[in-house]
Copies of this chain bind each other. A is one copy, B any other.
Amino acid sequence: MGQPVPRLDGWAKVTGRAAYAYDIHLPGMLYARVLRSPLPHARLRRIDTSRAEALPGVYAVLSAANAPAIRWYQQSYLFDRTLRFVGDEVAAVAAESIDLAEDALRLIDVEYEPLPFVVDLEAATRPGAPHVWEGGNVAAEPRVYQRGDPAGGLERADHVVDVIYTTQAALHNCLEPHGCTATWDDDELTLWDSTQSVFGVRRGVADALGLPEHRVRVISEYMGGGFGSKQVAWKHKVIAALLARRARRPVQLMLDREAENLAVGHRNPTRQHVRLGATRDGTLTAIVAHIEQGVGAYLLGGEGSDVSGPYRELYRCPNVRTEQVPIYLNTGPAAAFRAPGWVEGAFPLESAMDELAHALGIDPLELRRRNYTPLDQPKGLPYTVDGLRHCYERAAAVFGWDTYQKPPPQGSKRRGVGMAAHNWVGGSGWPPAYAWVKLNTDGTADVITGTQDIGTGTRTGLAQVAAEELGLPLERVALRLGDTQRGPYAPVSAGSATQATLGPAVRQAALDAKRQLLTVAAAILEVDADQLEVCDGGVYVREAPERRLPVEEIMRRIAPHMIQGTGARGPNPTDKSIQPFGAQFVEVEVDLETGAVTVLRLVAAHDCGRIINPAIVDSQVIGGITQGLGYALMEERVIDAGSGVVLNANLEEYKVPTALDVPTIVHAQVDLPDLAANPTGAKGIGEPPLVPTAPAIANAVFDAVGVRLRSLPLSPQHLLAALAARQESGR
């Protein structure tokens, strides 16, 4: 552990031999496509699939006319007669080729009755707005949190920042779209799926189809990314299974990029009214936030994005109130998206803190130091480590925050710096999770768990844990995962939790195997097992290291007996709170003429506990910041208000950062083994790096040109408009 070893599956991936969901090809396999609603809100008057069914090469067609009445979402069905967003599922076809399936979709006659719709958060909350569901557009009881006396706190403040921020709907756009291949063996279904949760999909699909869980096998060997939306047992998995059963052939249903961007999740757009009160010295007296979040047409987890989180937890403040209202819209459903809620909440909070700092004439970092808390205030528990403080100081030092000298303007170009911080509710890991270790007769080891590697390096990070505990070279350890039928349970890969959840289970299983190995070695070496150590593939006597047996030799002696270790993830401490933290500092250049914001450099420090593999942690930090950069500067789902149509459900018009957009990112490692959290000392790093990037950039833009952008993305249009507005107002 601690070594930046290359990913164990790197070679398979770069040579194209790693089999992703798209790469599953079964004999006789059919290809499925889904007909999607062209209207944002409509009733299905009539559907006639007979011409599609008659097309040679078409094996199965499903629609509201013939599909089983499987309940879905709120009061709706798998194929519902009311459609609530552009992209909602109307029918599905399985045919011998993708082209044929698409031809067949065009042969389906549908008559829609258009209904009034609403796709905009502000419009949806106006009186008389069209209703997405009977009962109105407020999707659930507002979530309210309060401590202390927020109103009093605001009153007692010397200064109050009172502003409205908005954030956009961003699209997950995993490199690999959602999709699966379904095949039946009698009453057993096997699903090769691109998913963050093989066990979650097993449960969801089994429930939908009325199957016992052990009759559904979900396999995910390689995944091209999952940012939260792939933790859901989406409709298309059940549709693929139903088509396969009907056609009596394997069916592959991969979403194309448009379907991907319409139907399977996005980060919820928000409108946030923020009030921060502080005394003259910067001490916060109140934090109040009223948050509206657009959850789309259906509730399936996006509404759980806890936008209130940072307000509640990031700063020491006795008086806090957050109120979060989920609002229905006639769009696809929102879904969890990498640090869900925290990303949306951090931009307003950390921008408003910057506003406060400037208003009070206090350095933004100093303001944060003054409001530092070592306590998880809602829980009333101390954090396991003072991670945030370390991140502040480390990142500031590497960035040169205290000594930064702004260079003079160059033509229309202005430089500026900014910073922002984060905590994150995830990353602690949690039970249950299980692992098995097999020591083979040649001293190699297979580690088996039911988790999945969603592209984050789970195979490698967990193998490192097992190799260290077993004292074996890494190449003697293989990590087997992603198969519900053959592996023990592990939870969804989400919440930045996989390493911290599975690592302890793997470590315990390896320890269990090691104990058995040492017992055997002790008998051979005629010493007590507690006098033995294992390292570099050999067991030796601690006091006499020359008395050494290779693990291979020990295993050969007991062959064909093998050693089997089992491990389970233990509970987290109840007297402490485990969170990862981080801070990012950024320097930007803003062009007053074009409105372009160029990030010149970014220094990030993130406390993820013990760094088990620095290369993999670097990957997560750079990847997260790159996604944060897209969120800050360019990504935004655009919907035409008149038609409800998403105008950029593709990668041509929905811009994500390319390699050329990525600045120098310095990962200033903070390696703080958090042994109070779990025996591996590691916490999560998958989500957090994305959280502070947008506010850090926005704060740097303010520092450069003096305008405060309170709406994402910080696009040239927004910036130029703000600059023009400032000029008009004569400021």
Contacts and interface: CB of A to CB of B under 8 A. Distances in A.
Interface of A: 11-12, 15, 17-19, 25-27, 185-186, 199, 203, 206, 212-215, 431-432, 434, 436, 438, 440-442, 444-446, 448, 476-478, 480, 483, 485-489, 491, 560-562, 564, 566, 568
A244 to B, nearest CB: 13
Contact of A489 (B19, B477, B560): B560
Contact of A562 (B215, B434, B476): B434
A408 to B, nearest CB: 55
Nearest to A206: B442
A92 B704 CA distance: 72
A17 B562 contact: no
A214 B561 contact: no
A12 B185 contact: yes
A560 B441 CA distance: 34
Contacts of A486: 448, 480, 483, 486-487
Given A214-B440, A434-B564, A17 B185 contact: yes
A450 to B, nearest CB: 9
A442 B15 CA distance: 41
A465 B214 CA distance: 18
A441 B200 CA distance: 11
Contact of A11 (B186, B446, B560, B568): B186
How many copies of the chain does the oligomer comprise?
Answer: 2
Contacts of A444: 212-215
A312 B215 CA distance: 50
Contacts of A564: 434, 488-489, 566, 568
B476 A212 contact: yes
Contacts of A445: 214
Contacts of A432: 560-562
A597 to B, nearest CB: 43
Contacts of A491: 560
5 smallest CB-CB distances across A and B, nearest first, come from A486-B486, A214-B444, A25-B27, A432-B561, A213-B440
A30 to B, nearest CB: 15
Contacts of A478: 214-215
10 contacts: A18-B185, A19-B185, A214-B446, A432-B560, A432-B562, A436-B436, A448-B486, A480-B486, A486-B487, A489-B564
Contacts of A203: 441
Contacts of A215: 444, 478
Query: Among A215, A480, A560, which residue has the most Cβ atoms of chain B within 10 A?
Result: A560
A477 B19 CA distance: 30
A537 to B, nearest CB: 11
Contact of A560 (B186, B199, B562): B199
B431 A561 contact: yes
A192 to B, nearest CB: 13
A248 to B, nearest CB: 10
Contacts of A568: 564
A376 B445 CA distance: 40
A18 B215 CA distance: 15
A48 B212 CA distance: 58
B431 A488 contact: no
A15 B487 CA distance: 28
A432 B559 CA distance: 9
Nearest to A488: B564
Contact of A441 (B213, B446, B488): B213
Contacts of A12: 185-186
A560 B442 CA distance: 35
Contacts of A441: 203, 213
A412 B720 CA distance: 115
Contacts of A477: 214
A441 B213 CA distance: 8
A4 to B, nearest CB: 21
Contacts of A446: 214, 485
Contacts of A431: 561
Query: Among A212, A215, A445, which residue has the most Cβ atoms of chain B within 10 A?
Result: A212
A149 B206 CA distance: 70
A434 B439 CA distance: 13
Contacts of A186: 11-12, 15, 17
A443 B350 CA distance: 48
A247 to B, nearest CB: 14
Contacts of A18: 185
A251 to B, nearest CB: 16
Nearest to A485: B480
A562 B477 CA distance: 26
A36 B488 CA distance: 46
A25 B487 CA distance: 25
A214 B555 CA distance: 14
A210 B443 CA distance: 14
Contact of A442 (B11, B212, B442): B212
Nearest to A491: B560
Query: Among A206, A436, A477, which residue has the most Cβ atoms of chain B within 10 A?
Result: A436
A449 to B, nearest CB: 11
Contacts of A448: 486
A144 B686 CA distance: 68
Contacts of A434: 562, 564
A213 B185 CA distance: 30
Contacts of A27: 25
Given A25-B27, A185-B12, A214-B478, A562 B488 contact: yes
Contacts of A562: 432, 434, 488-489
Contacts of A483: 486
Nearest to A188: B478
A699 to B, nearest CB: 40
A19 B489 CA distance: 27
A206 to B, nearest CB: 7
